[in-house]
Amino acid sequence: MNRCEAMKQYIAQNGEQIIADTMMLARHQSPTAQKEYVETCADALEALVKERLGLEPTAQYPQEARGRHLYYSIGEGPHKALMIGHYDTVWNIDDLPLIREGNKLSGPGVYDMKYGIVASIWAIKALQATGGLDGTYGLFFNSDEEMGSRTSRAHFEPIAKTFPNALILEPAAPDGAVKVGRKSTGDFLIKIHGIAAHAGTDYASGRSAILEAAYLTQELFAMTDLPGGTSVNVGVISGGTKFNVIAAYAEMQVDVRVTKASEGKRMEAAIAALKPKQDGVTLEITGGMNRPPFEFTKANQGLFAKAKEAAADLGIDLGKIMVGGGSDGNFTSTWGIPTLDGLGPVGDGAHAATEHLMIAQSLEHTAVLANLLTKL
């Protein structure tokens, strides 16, 4: 049996354990903003890496308001690839049940992306079990990707730059396609200051922050140009105090996605230039574009070609797609490091109540990841 078949068999034989490891990490729920939960998940992840690979973290990066980031280096000799995975999720505690039914595993973060982290550990194990590592591989697990990797980015940048390849453990598409392009993402906070007044006795002197939020919402959604690749979403609005008081305050959280850095600049300017429609209302606008676009550069095409070959060895025709959501691949690609994304599980429903992975397909995808590691 050749090596890629042996690795595939090793992963299939350990499939139950791989799914059990994923479920264990999913049970340690880890909403980005809830540090105490995220730290507990990091403890579980550290214990898992210790048990599976016998490794202590090479470096840890504690954070004030987020969970710590973990870095592991394994193997010796030439640097081959840094694998990056986030262990935070978008789910609040107990939002979603963890359910295994036949070939399907549903639950908070199983698809985005706790399976991906487990896959990286088992891909390394598959290499160890079939002849060993012929170079150095890095594993960086961050705790804040779902909120833009604001505290982790500066820590994985110098590490990533020592590796000739970055493999992002985010989920693959439902048909197993890997991700070779992602939009640039931005987020904005708009604070609206109106004037409070009694809704009955003093209506005319009030200026409603809620009415202003309604005007701005219309204006922001109208900036969307789907054929041009630009989208704007007002995802959260909050404000007001009582039904009979004209609201003095409201705020809106806005998500923006574009395909080109120049369009990101244009959108930043357009949002900064928003003006209130009512006299006496003021706006405070903060935020901006966060992740640069992840484009299918020459370097990334070269890495995808190796992945395609790694899949073909296993009889799989590997597809590729561009998607709207950002990831840490947006950063590594922009830093000029050949980057491939979507090397985690196969499934669907990231950030949706339908979040799930398909077990057999995900295990096959992990065999492709392991085989790719041997080609770098």
Residue indicated by tokens 């170079």:
135
Please give the size of the binding site for Zn ion, defined by CB under 5 A: 3
User: In the bound complex, what is the minimum distance in angstroms from residue 114's beta carbon to Zn ion?
Assistant: 10
The torsion angles phi and psi of 43, rounded to 5 degrees, stand at -60, -45
| Cα–Cα distance, 179 to 340 (Å, whole number) | 7
| Cα–Cα distance, 134 to 76 (Å, whole number) | 7
Length of the chain: 376
* 355 binding Zn ion? (CB under 5 A): no
> What x/- string results for residues 155 through 174 when contact with Zn ion is judged by CB under 5 A?
---------------x----
The nearer residue to Zn ion, 80 or 86, going by C-beta atoms, is 86
User: In the bound complex, what is the minimum distance in angstroms from residue 120's beta carbon to Zn ion?
Assistant: 14
| Cα–Cα distance, 206 to 248 (Å, whole number) | 8
Residue indicated by tokens 């890495």:
303
**Of the residues 21, 39, 46, 112, which one makes contact with Zn ion according to CB under 5 A:** 112
> What x/- string results for residues 119 through 158 when contact with Zn ion is judged by CB under 5 A?
----------------------------------------
> What x/- string results for residues 13 through 42 when contact with Zn ion is judged by CB under 5 A?
------------------------------
| Cα–Cα distance, 145 to 157 (Å, whole number) | 14
Q: Which two tokens stand for residue 292?
A: 């640069």
SS3 (DSSP) at 274: coil
* 113 binding Zn ion? (CB under 5 A): yes
The nearer residue to Zn ion, 147 or 370, going by C-beta atoms, is 147
The nearer residue to Zn ion, 119 or 281, going by C-beta atoms, is 119
| Cα–Cα distance, 330 to 242 (Å, whole number) | 43
Q: Pseudo-torsion of CA 185, 151, 301, 359, nearest 10°? A: -90
* 248 binding Zn ion? (CB under 5 A): no
The nearer residue to Zn ion, 112 or 187, going by C-beta atoms, is 112
Which bin fits 72, alpha (ψ -120 to 50), beta or left (φ > 0)?
beta
Q: How many CB atoms within 10 Å of residue 144?
A: 22
User: In the bound complex, what is the minimum distance in angstroms from residue 131's beta carbon to Zn ion?
Assistant: 31
For Zn ion, the nearest residue by Cβ is: 112
User: In the bound complex, what is the minimum distance in angstroms from residue 32's beta carbon to Zn ion?
Assistant: 11
> What x/- string results for residues 180 through 209 when contact with Zn ion is judged by CB under 5 A?
------------------------------
- Do 339 and 333 form a contact (C-beta atoms < 8 A)? yes
User: In the bound complex, what is the minimum distance in angstroms from residue 325's beta carbon to Zn ion?
Assistant: 8
- Positions in the binding site for Zn ion (CB under 5 A): 112-113, 170
